[in-house]
C-alpha cells in the first residue's frame, strides 16, 4: 500500500483531541507531508494546520484525503460521506483508518470509480497470518504497554526509536495501528486481525533479525481495559519483548470509554511480566513514560521524580523531555551499541 502525499487531513466534527489522534499524530511526526485540515461545524480538535476547503487543498497539490479521526467501533458517520465524495470528485485519493471499508459505502465506491481514484483502507491488510508459535527468535524487542488506551504508546515507541538511532543503536519502529502506518509507511492495524491470529501477526511484524537490532513495537490498548485487553495480550505474546515501557496519563481515574477504574502502574508492570513470561521468560520493565500535558513543568518534573523513586526506574515524558534516560537504561542492561 503506497499512500501518496501531501495529505489533506479530515477531522470531521470530533468532540476532542483524542478523537483526532490519527491526524494529530501524522502532523507531529510527518508535518512536511501535510497541507491543511478540514473541520466540520462543531469540531473541537485542531492539528495546528491551516483550515482549508477540499477545493483549495486540491488546488494546492494535495494527493490524499486522510480521514484523521477515530470513534468507538471505527464507523464512518453518515454526515461525513459527502466530504469523502467531494474529495474524490476533486481528484484526491482517500485513505481511512476506520474499521469500515470505504468501498462498502455505495456513494464512496461509485465516486472513486467515476474519478479513477484509489481507496486505501489502512486498517485492513491483505496479508494472511499463521497462529502464534511462541518460539524464541533472534533480535531484541521493546514493547510499549499502557495503563489505558490513548496514553502515548505510539509516541513513546517513535521517540524511543529516534533516540536509539541517534545514540548509534540499530533500531526500527513497528507500527501496530493505523496512525503508525500513516507515519511509518509500513505495518499493520492489529485490532483488525482475527483474534486467533493476533499473536502470529505480531510475530510477522517483528520477525527474527540480527541479534543486535532492536525492534520498537507500538503497543495497543491495555491488559486492564475490558474492551481491548484481548488485542493487548495477543500483541504481548507475539512480540515476545525483552523489555517494555509502561505508558501512563496521571490525570485519569477511569479508563477511556468505560467505567472501569484506572489500574496502577505497579499493577500493569506485574501483570505484563506475569503474562509476558509465557513467550519470553526474561521480560523486564525498563521505565515509565508519562504524558504530562495536564501538568505544568515543575509539577511534571516532581511527578516523574516520584515515579522514578517509587519504582527504581527511569521516568520521562517522551515528547516534553526526551528519551535519553530510557536509552541509558538500555545501555546499562544490554550494553552499548
Q: Please list the pLDDT of the chain residue by residue as tens digits (337 residues).
A: 678 899 999 999 999 998 998 999 999 999 999 999 999 999 999 999 999 999 999 999 999 999 999 876 678 999 999 999 999 999 999 999 888 999 999 999 999 999 999 999 988 877 899 999 999 999 999 999 999 999 999 999 999 999 999 999 999 999 998 889 888 877 888 988 999 999 999 999 999 999 999 999 999 999 999 999 999 999 999 999 999 999 999 999 999 999 999 999 999 999 999 999 999 999 999 999 999 999 999 999 999 999 999 999 999 999 999 999 999 999 999 999 9
Record the pTM: 0.84
Whether 76 is in a domain gets the answer yes
Task: State whether 253 and 148 are in the same domain.
Answer: yes
Nearest to 10 by CA among 135, 94, 105: 94
Tell me if 127 is assigned to some domain.
no
Asked whether 152 and 28 are in contact (CB, 8 A), the reply is no
Domain end point (choices 86, 121, 156): 121
Task: With CA atoms as reference, report the closest residue to 187 among 133, 130, 124, 93.
Answer: 124
Do residue 146 and residue 249 come from a single domain?
Answer: yes
Output the domain CATH number for residue 293. Answer: 3.40.50.300
Q: Is there a domain that residue 126 lies in?
A: no
Domain boundary among 121, 151, 176: 121
The verdict on 112 and 165 lying in the same domain is no
Give the C-alpha distances (Å, rounded to integers) separating 247 from 219, 224, 243: 9, 13, 13
Query: Pick from 121, 149, 168: which residue ends a domain?
Result: 121
241 lies in the same domain as 105: no
Give the integer Cα–Cα distance in Å for 65 and 60.
13
Q: Looking at the structure, do residues 188 and 79 belong to the same domain, yes or no?
A: no
Q: How many domains does the chain have?
A: 2
Q: Domain for residue 130, yes or no?
A: no
Grid cell 491488559 is found at 223
**Shared-domain flag, residues 184 and 288:** yes
Determine the longest span between alpha carbons in the chain, in angstroms.
62
- Tell me which residue of 196, 206, 177, 195 sits closest to 280, measured CA to CA: 206
DSSP three-state, residue 292: coil
Enclosing domain of residue 33: 7-121
Residue 294 and residue 150 share a domain: yes
Q: Which residues pair with 216 in a beta bridge?
A: 142, 173
User: Are 203 and 132 spatial neighbours (Cβ–Cβ below 8 Å)?
Assistant: yes
Q: 174 and 117, same structural domain?
A: no
Amino acid at each position: 500500500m503506497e499512500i501518496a502525499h501531501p495529505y489533506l487531513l479530515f477531522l470531521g466534527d470530533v468532540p476532542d483531541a483524542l478523537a483526532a489522534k490519527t491526524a494529530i499524530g501524522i502532523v507531529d511526526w510527518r508535518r512536511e507531508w501535510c497541507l491543511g485540515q478540514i473541520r466540520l461545524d462543531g469540531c473541537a480538535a485542531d492539528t495546528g494546520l491551516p483550515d482549508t476547503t477540499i477545493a483549495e487543498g486540491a488546488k494546492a497539490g494535495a494527493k490524499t484525503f486522510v480521514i484523521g479521526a477515530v470513534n468507538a467501533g471505527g464507523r464512518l458517520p453518515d454526515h461525513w460521506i459527502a466530504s469523502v465524495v467531494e474529495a474524490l470528485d476533486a481528484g484526491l485519493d482517500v485513505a481511512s483508518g476506520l474499521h469500515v471499508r470505504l468501498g462498502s459505502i455505495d456513494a464512496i465506491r461509485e465516486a472513486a470509480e467515476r474519478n479513477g481514484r484509489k481507496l486505501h483502507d489502512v486498517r485492513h491488510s491483505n496479508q494472511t497470518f499463521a497462529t502464534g508459535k511462541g518460539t524464541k527468535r533472534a533480535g531484541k524487542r521493546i514493547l510499549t504497554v499502557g495503563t489505558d488506551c490513548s496514553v502515548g504508546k505510539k509516541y513513546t515507541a517513535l521517540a524511543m526509536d529516534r533516540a536509539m538511532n541517534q545514540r548509534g543503536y540499530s533500531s526500527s519502529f513497528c507500527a501496530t495501528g493505523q496512525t503508525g502506518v500513516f507515519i511509518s509507511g509500513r505495518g499493520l492495524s492489529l485490532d483488525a486481525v482475527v483474534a486467533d491470529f493476533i499473536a502470529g501477526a505480531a510475530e510477522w511484524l517483528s520477525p527474527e533479525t540480527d541479534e543486535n537490532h532492536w525492534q520498537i513495537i507500538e503497543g495497543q490498548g491495555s491488559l486492564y481495559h475490558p474492551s481491548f485487553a484481548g488485542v493487548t495480550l495477543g500483541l504481548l505474546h507475539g512480540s515476545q519483548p525483552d523489555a517494555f515501557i509502561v505508558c501512563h496519563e496521571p490525570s485519569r481515574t477511569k479508563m477511556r470509554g468505560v467505567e472501569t477504574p484506572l489500574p496502577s502502574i505497579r499493577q500493569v508492570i506485574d501483570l505484563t511480566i506475569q503474562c509476558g513470561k509465557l513467550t519470553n521468560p526474561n521480560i523486564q520493565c525498563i521505565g515509565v513514560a508519562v504524558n504530562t500535558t495536564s501538568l505544568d513543568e515543575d509539577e511534571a518534573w516532581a511527578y516523574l521524580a516520584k515515579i522514578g523513586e517509587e519504582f527504581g526506574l527511569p521516568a520521562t515524558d517522551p515528547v516534553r523531555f526526551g528519551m535519553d534516560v530510557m536509552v541509558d537504561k538500555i545501555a546499562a542492561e544490554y550494553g552499548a551499541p
